[in-house]
Amino acid sequence: MLLHFTKMHGLGNDFMVVDLVTQRARFDEACIRQLADRHFGIGFDQLLVVEPPRDPDMDFRYRIYNADGSEVENCGNGARCFARFVCDQRLTHKREIRVETQGGQLTLVIEDDGRVRVNMGAPRFAPADVPFDATEDRPLHDIVVDGETLQVGVVSMGNPHAVLQVDDVDNAPVETLGPKIESHPCFPRRVNAGFMQVVSRHAVRLRVFERGAGETLACGTGACAAVASGIRRGLLESPVDVELPGGTLTLEWAGDGEPLFMTGPAVRVFDGRVPLG
């Protein structure tokens, strides 16, 4: 069968988006890895699969798979691209869209300027919610990597994040330290590793070595985790501009227990068809 798909990106974090409302297909881990391959496949950081909702109060369900084939709970840049996709495909006429993901429920608003504003829900810090092997919630936790003790902010945006503050993201050891944090034994489901440089109380620079995808040009949930950790540590004040290699997101958070809002672009690159099965 030929599967129709759309290639999209959010600040260079790129996606293959598939509508399984009007199509039928099944993806196993090996198939996703092959499709994700940037030489032998289509190439993407994540696969986004749009399905009818299971909860009647939701408009859609969307499932997220990393390039390594692992299914994950949330994807901030993907949520914006999902909203643009269902609107462009005429799967909905709404401009406020409620969607269920493995990590919870999101509300997305397509703004007049084409950007998408996402209610990402409330960041969570309890180790059990991340999950992270620790007994209590702290602004910073120690983890030991190659004999060196690192202090990281640990945050769940539905998916797990470790945020390491650095002096200069351009010189941060993302390629070498990123994978070691990603697979650190303290994170039983692995973790996304963020490297955050504080520029001012309302601006940070960020690079993210993503769980299951490696370093990406942008990570929406990573930006949320970095800002939540920074505000909690008294380093930042809402709103915060997060400059990622692929561009800038604006985030707003009123503090513990409150939802975090992310606003940014979503871009269609091309439509395609791929033989499957």
Q: Which stretch binds ligand API (CB under 6 A): 16-24, 47-55, 167-175, 208-216?
A: 208-216
How does 14-42 read in b/e, with b if 16+ C-beta sit within 10 Å?
bbbbbbbeeeebebeeebbbebbeeeebb
**Complex with ligand API: residue 3 or 160, whichever CB lies closer:** 160
Among 5, 17, 49, 66, interactor with ligand API by CB under 6 A: 66
Torsion angle, alpha carbons of 91, 92, 97, 99, to 10: -30
75 counts as catalytic = yes
Q: Which residue of the set 81, 87, 219, 224 is catalytic? A: 219
Q: Is 219 in the site for ligand API (CB under 6 A)?
A: yes
Q: 76: how many CB neighbours lie within 10 A of its CB?
A: 27
81 in active site: no
The residues facing 61 across adjacent strands are 51, 100
In the chain, the N- to C-terminal Cα span, in Å, equals: 7
In the numeric block, which tokens belong to residue 136? Answer: 């209590």
Q: Closest separation between CB of residue 73 and ligand API, Å?
A: 7
Q: Tell me the C-alpha to C-alpha distance, in Å, between residue 257 and each of 41, 167, 200, 260.
A: 42, 29, 24, 9
Shortest approach of ligand API to residue 74 CB, angstroms?
6
178 binds ligand API (CB under 6 A): no
| Sole residue written with tokens 């503090």 | 255
Which of 58, 110, 118, 213 touches ligand API (CB under 6 A)? 213
**Residue stretches of the annotated binding site for substrate:** 13, 46, 66, 76-77, 159, 192, 210-211, 220-221
- Residues with a catalytic annotation lie at 75, 219
Q: Which residues form the interface with ligand API (CB under 6 A)?
A: 13, 45-46, 66, 72, 75-78, 159, 192, 210-213, 216, 219-222
